[in-house]
Structure 1
Amino acid sequence: MEKIEEIKKVLSEHKEELRKRFKIKEIGVFGSYVRGEQKKRGSDIDILVEFEEPVGLFEFMDLEEYLSNLLGMKVDLVSKKALKPKIGEQVLREVVYV
């Protein structure tokens, strides 16, 4: 994936499956891809999720692996509930929801 539009398209196409299978309420992209600062190689895709109900570590890791396979590159998955105050403000300002 090279552009935010491609990432959004793939996530959008799988949004219903993500909701059913992983109980995702919201999903969005933030970080270097949103800012247009991603590198050709080495940039991961930062994804913010909010769940409909609490999930365990294994479900969280399964989702991260699923998204990495779906997008064809490493995903750094962050739960909206786990955001720390300072960094969370920046993430919430720049996140692009699908």
Structure 2
Amino acid sequence: MEKYGKIGLGGEAMPAINEIMAKRDQILSTAAQYKFFNVRLFGSVLRGEEKTESDIDFLVECGEDCSLFDLISLKYDLEEILGRKIDVVTPDSVHWTLKDKILQEARPI
């Protein structure tokens, strides 16, 4: 398997959104293991503008005891599940110049 970018049965690139929805339960349970919830998708994959090198952008919320280590661990686990580069951010970690746009665009998986 390629490190990033799944290939469908016919050899064509499988859109990431299809892969996300197929693995939705696994993604949500992995996030919950680290006490993250309200897992949302934003960015090029959500807009249908992804390229083969595009990463998948997730916005998550966490309880009081989540750490940066938990966020990084979630990122690596999701990369393993989806076989693509992943970015995971929280509303508090998003730069203020992008925050409103991301919060408006983000959709639950």
Percent identity of equivalent pairs: 33
Q: Is 1:89 aligned with 2:100? A: yes
RCO higher in structure (CA 8 A, sep ≥6): 1
Tell me what 1:56 maps to.
Answer: 67
Cα distance change, pair 8–96 in 1 and its aligned pair in 2 (3 A): farther
Shift of 1:79: 1.3
2:61 touches 2:91 (CA, 8 Å); kept in 1? yes
Query: Is residue 16 of structure 1 aligned with residue 50 of structure 2?
Result: no
Question: Residue 33 of structure 1 corresponds to which residue in structure 2?
Answer: 45
- Runs of 5+ consecutive residues of structure 2 not aligned to the other structure: 1-13
Instruction: Count how many residue pairs are aligned between Structure 1 and Structure 2.
Output: 95
| Structure with the higher helix share, 1 or 2 | 1
Rg: which structure is higher? 2
The CA deviation string for residues 9-62 of structure 1, in whole angstroms up to 9 with x for no partner, is 41x31223421x1101211110000111100x2100011110122322222111
- The TM-score, its normalising length taken from structure 1, stands at 0.84
The verdict on how the C-alpha distance between 1:3 and 1:63 changes in structure 2, with shifts beyond 3 A counting, is: closer
Unaligned 5+ residue runs, structure 1? Answer: none
Q: Return the TM-score normalized by structure 2.
A: 0.77
Equivalent residue for 2:10? none
